[in-house]
Amino acid sequence: MRLLLTACATTALVVAGPLTATAAGQGPQVPVGGDLLTAKPTVVAKGATPPAVQASAYVVADIDTGQVLAAKAPHAKLRPASTLKALTALVLLPRLKKTDPVIGSDADAGIVGSKVGVYPGLRYTVDLLFQGMFLASGNDAVHALCAHDRGGVPATVQRMNAKAKEIGALDTHVTDPTGLDADGQYSSAYDLALFAKAGLARQDFAKYAATKYTNFPNVGNKGTYQVANQNKLLFGYDGALGVKTGYTTLARNTFIGAARRNGHTLVVTMMNAPHGITEDASNLLTWTFTNYGKLKPVGTLVKPAAVPPKAQPQDRSGTTKPNPGTARQPQARTALNPGQAVQSLAFRVPAWAYAAPPVLLLGLFLRRPRTLRRRRH
């Protein structure tokens, strides 16, 4: 009986174990973007030696071709600070109408961190709040925009995490759309490059990122005050496209910058830098432009996942209406080889089913000694 029980238990582990491991990690576990793009603090470049920079992690990539041309710890999970606002913008820009009015609230004005000056009771447009978010890194502007969207901040956080997965930014986890130091919030230099690539493909994102100055209303509608973009590349680097800066005590300096020269559009991202981030970014960009012809890619920026089909419309009762163009189409089926078919069937069996035979046999095994003891009496 003991041998039979052991055999059943072993069989259950052999069947369930490998299938669970396969399901949990479908495909080989390699760094996103290529084998050389790891979290190790090693500079990776081919064709020329990049200048030394102080950031713990960085990526330089051509966002037109997707080629990563130099990197250091590109997948190290670090605090993003306000560079995370690039992902916030990717989520909010297609959802909000630029001309919509937004009234400032106490919650907007009371948020901690950097602010552009959103006051309770003052009227702003969505467009102006996006400017305050990009130029001044205003957490108050971010909060106002999130509150204006359906579901508020919690829904925005969920959408940001979903968007990160959609574009392949698997190092990123969001808990606060402002980028403030929050438990469980992190990203990587590689993911910041993906944010920039996706963002600069949008005309509105690119416009906000490259805007140097804007004006915000004073309290009581008494004139305006000027707000300047915190990305200093825009003011001193030829071809600069801006994007986003960040800083917190724990994250230190973080950075997303881009520039276009000689038909090439490059992005540079840096994380956990003590100081001199604009100079380091300029040096990396200039080095890449200068040596572009002899540099060989060390990885790639992955392409976004296929956009899922739009949800079917619902009538007022909440019943989903079938799409006339697709209602009668047969469901697509994928042919499986015998091994895959067995594995697919095994995945459909509940996990408790594998443990049922051993448990039943264990019950029989435990009851038998009691029966034997009664017979002895």
**Measured between alpha carbons, how far is 145 from 143 in angstroms, rounded to an integer?**
5
Q: Could you tell me the residue ranges of all domains in the chain?
A: 43-300
What is the pLDDT at residue 294? Answer: 97
pLDDT value of position 306: 54
Using CA atoms, how far apart are residues 145 and 152, in angstroms rounded to an integer? 8
pLDDT, residue 106, reads 97
CATH topology of domain 43-300: Beta-lactamase (3.40.710)
Can you give the pLDDT at residue 219?
87
| 377 residues of the chain, pLDDT tens digit each | 443 433 343 333 333 333 333 333 344 578 999 999 999 999 999 999 999 999 999 999 999 999 999 999 999 999 999 999 999 999 999 999 999 999 999 999 999 999 999 999 999 999 999 999 999 999 999 999 999 999 999 999 999 999 999 999 999 999 999 999 999 999 999 999 999 999 999 999 999 999 999 999 998 768 999 999 999 999 999 999 999 999 999 999 999 999 999 999 999 999 999 999 999 999 999 999 999 999 999 999 999 875 444 444 433 333 334 443 333 333 333 333 333 333 333 333 344 443 444 444 444 444 444 443 444 44
Q: Which residues are annotated as a binding site?
A: 244
Tell me the one-letter amino acid at 150: R
Least Cα distance to 75 among 40, 123, 49 occurs for 40
- Residue located via tokens 């919650």: 107
Residues 228, 218, 204: CA angle, nearest 5 degrees = 45
Q: Which residues are catalytic?
A: 82, 85, 137
Binding residues for substrate: 244
Q: What single-letter amino acid sits at 200?
A: L
